[in-house]
Chains A and B, each alone.
Chain A
Amino acid sequence: MPAFTPPPLPSDDKRWKIVNGTMRKNGFARYALIETLHTVQSSFGYLDDAAITFVAKSLRVPLSQAYGVVTFYHYFSLKPPGKHTMTICSGTACYIKGTDKLIAAAEQRLGIPHGQTTKDGKISLMTARCVGACGRAPVVLLDGDLCGQMENDAMIEQLERWAVE
């Protein structure tokens, strides 16, 4: 059997080299699939068809299986994120302290349901299953930065700031 040669990088974007690096570190083993998808997501922000195909081919995983993994885990996103992302935690502690109201208010302000990005691509509204900062509930992540004891007005203010940026 001829030695396996991984497919060429999809483009000369430097980020593909980082992705390739992760796969090489794991010897292009199949079990590195989730690991590699993590690298793609952290480099590109999301996973598109080209990325999934490239990773699947490189690791010799059936495309269906790669797609199955991507859609199984909540952490992976198939859509590009907005310029800013607001992630509202909806874990139990935050829920008891009323994040359902925060989510509803943010949805109303942006005019989109959670899990989506505004049409102008500026703001994504996400929910998280628990970020483990329950001591500071209700928690909102602003572009990944944790803000505790969030109040409705402060959150809307932040959205306004992002919207006019």
Chain B
Amino acid sequence: MTIEELDQIAESVRAANAKFDYEVNVCMGTGCLSQHSDQLKDALAKEANAQGKNALIRRTGCMGLCAAGPLVLCDPDEILYQHVKADNAQQLVASLGGDPVRKLQCDLREHFDQQVHVVLENSGHIDPERIDDYIARDGYQALLKALIEMTPQEVIHEITEAGLRGRGGGGYPTGLKWSTVAKATGDFKYVICNGDEGDPGAFMDRSVLESDPQRVIEGMAIAAYAVGASKGFVYVRAEYPLAVARLTACLRDARRRGLLGNNICNTPFSFDVEIRLGAGAFVCGEETALIASIEGKRGQPKPRPPYPAVSGLWGKPTLINNVETFANVPPILRKGGKWFAGIGTEKSKGTKVFAITGKITNTGLVEVPMGMTLRKIIEGIGGGVPDGHAFKAVQTGGPSGGCIPAEHLDIPVSYESLIQMGSMMGSGGMIVMDDTSCMVNVARFFIEFCMTESCGKCIPCRAGTAQMFTLLTRICSGSGTMDDLELLVDLCGTIKETSLCGLGMTAPNPVLSTLKYFKNEYIDHIVHKRCPAGVCNIHAPAPEAASPFEVLA
């Protein structure tokens, strides 16, 4: 494969597409598929045939607005339809080239216009399982450019210049990580793509893997070239069957095209990728635990150092990055680090994909430049809280993050500002809560999550989260005391400072942040024995369910 051959493929795809008068893109991500968008696509194809319209009916990845699915995008007029059923196929095909079907039209200019798509640039525009579609949108240009025109050092320099930071949550500078692995001595190195999106309420990685898997593969190949690795693993959750299926198909296609395997594009560089399935353990998102899981062991973290960059998978230097981080790499190499660094804030560059869910009108996936205010994301793009309820808080960062109240909605979103608020960027889940959510109950939910997901290796996390859960259950049931609250704060500090890995160190965040901003709700539960949101069942006696955990701890 050479750049000329890539251009040829791209040209032939464009020529084939140009033969059609219309393009009808049907979203077939998990959300829309669950509403039978596959049947819709068949119906549209049948109708187009019957009505003699020269239309290309294409299956695409996620278009973002999952709550309004199934979504259909008709080109060249760029008309987006929502809630399309197979019965509407006739109407929709008939409208091609004429007036749009008004009652199905989705007019959300504000939602789409404020977004900047870098990672999601192809989502909703290409067939995820057709590698040629990806190539036609400049796919694999970056890999070939790196292999033919650049040295590994130059690639790392470009990434460093872009200021890309890890999108998995920590925000570690990607360029620095790459250069550490590149400098590590070893005859064999590995690249791992972390797709173990355990954070409940977040689905960016799933969406990227379902909508544009080739981009992740290309990003991994570039990373492998830069650090000198020859083998890659994608670790995906087993709960994402569609992502696994599409990734498998894409890996096969990439190998067939000679973009993976031995001597890629007639260069000495060889690289191949294997898929490893997760088995439902949140802690496996932590890099050392993930490595243990790939080795076929219990996913328990190890103390660092040594960092995986020096001694990782099977003791070899290993580069681990998140799905979204890898997805950012091809555009950076294509358009240059300076272009990427031009988006975002001073310390947080580029864009970030967020999954906005919970009590919000436009549920789904959005990609915004760093530095946009939370208010703009939630009220502008997200469309605000529905049904006349009042916004109460937004939870970012999943079980490791915290809740940000209404008065701080004007902060710009970046790694630093969110940490300052007592939350964190996390992988990008944003769960909006309104006045019907009880913050104490939410904190209890997250602690229960951390308690059941704790791997049990270190005591602060294993025993501490269980004790916190007991205390929070007591407060929720109305039998808590002010001493319990003090104990809770004390425990938070201990767990934060003494846990082995990120899970334990961040587990107290939901409690600390709700205590910071919603202490009155805790007081209401303890002193006035009432739940302001009416969620907690205060009159019930203390549930016995809490006791086994006390024994366990």
* Chain A residues engaging chain B, CB cutoff 8 angstroms: 30-35, 37-38, 61, 65, 68-69, 72-76, 90-93, 95-97, 128-137, 145-148
Contact = CB atoms under 8 A, between A and B. Distances in A.
B238 A134 contact: no
Given A38-B238, A146-B34, A133 B295 contact: no
A74 B293 CA distance: 13
Interface of B: 30-31, 33-35, 65-67, 69, 197-203, 206, 237-240, 276-282, 293-299, 355, 357-359, 363-365, 395, 398, 429, 431, 433, 437, 442, 445-446, 449, 453, 455
B333 to A, nearest CB: 29
A133 B31 contact: yes
B357 A35 contact: no
A157 B358 CA distance: 25
Contacts of B198: 129-130
A135 B281 contact: no
Contacts of B297: 33, 65, 69
Most buried by A among B34, B293, B355, B446: B34
Nearest to A129: B200
The 6 closest A-B pairs by CB, nearest first: A135-B66, A91-B200, A73-B279, A130-B200, A92-B201, A74-B280
A105 to B, nearest CB: 15
B364 A135 contact: yes
22 contacts: A31-B294, A31-B295, A32-B296, A34-B296, A37-B279, A38-B279, A75-B238, A90-B200, A91-B200, A92-B200, A92-B357, A92-B395, A129-B198, A129-B280, A130-B203, A132-B237, A133-B34, A133-B203, A134-B66, A134-B357, A135-B355, A136-B363
Given A75-B280, A91-B201, 12 more contacts: A31-B295, A34-B296, A69-B298, A72-B455, A91-B200, A92-B201, A92-B357, A92-B431, A93-B431, A129-B282, A133-B203, A134-B201
Contact of B34 (A68, A90, A129, A148): A148
A142 to B, nearest CB: 11
A135 B357 contact: yes
Most buried by B among A65, A75, A93, A135: A135
B239 to A, nearest CB: 5
A128 B279 CA distance: 12
A97 B358 contact: yes
A148 B35 contact: yes
A34 B197 CA distance: 18
Most buried by A among B237, B238, B276, B296: B296
Contacts of B445: 92, 95
Contacts of B206: 132
Nearest to B395: A92
A35 B431 CA distance: 33
Contacts of A37: 279
Contacts of B30: 131-133, 146
Given A68-B298, A96-B437, A134 B34 contact: no
Contacts of A65: 297
A96 B34 contact: no
Contacts of A61: 296
Contacts of B33: 146
Contacts of A146: 30, 33-34
B296 A134 contact: no
A154 to B, nearest CB: 14
Nearest to A76: B279
Contacts of A74: 279-281
Nearest to A137: B357
Given A72-B281, A75-B280, A148 B31 contact: yes
Contacts of A148: 31, 34-35
A73 B202 contact: no
Given A133-B34, A136-B67, A147-B34, A96 B358 contact: yes
Nearest to B298: A72
A128 B437 contact: no
Nearest to B207: A132
A136 B34 CA distance: 9
A75 B453 CA distance: 13
Contacts of A33: 296-297
B66 A132 contact: no
A130 B34 contact: no
A20 to B, nearest CB: 17
A35 B201 contact: no
Contacts of A69: 296-298
Contact of B200 (A68, A72, A93, A145): A93
Contacts of B280: 73-75, 129
A29 B307 CA distance: 25
Given A38-B279, A93-B357, A146-B30, A135 B298 contact: no
A91 B35 CA distance: 20
Nearest to B66: A135
B323 to A, nearest CB: 12
B458 to A, nearest CB: 15
Nearest to A147: B34
Contacts of B455: 72
B187 to A, nearest CB: 19
Nearest to B275: A35
Most buried by B among A33, A90, A91, A96: A96
A31 B295 CA distance: 5
Contacts of B437: 96
B312 to A, nearest CB: 14
A116 B445 CA distance: 21
B277 A34 contact: yes
A124 to B, nearest CB: 16
B296 A133 contact: no
Nearest to A74: B280
Most buried by B among A76, A133, A134: A134
B279 A135 contact: no
B279 A93 contact: no
A135 B364 CA distance: 5
Contacts of A97: 358-359
Nearest to A145: B34
Contacts of A35: 276-277, 296
Contacts of A38: 238, 277, 279
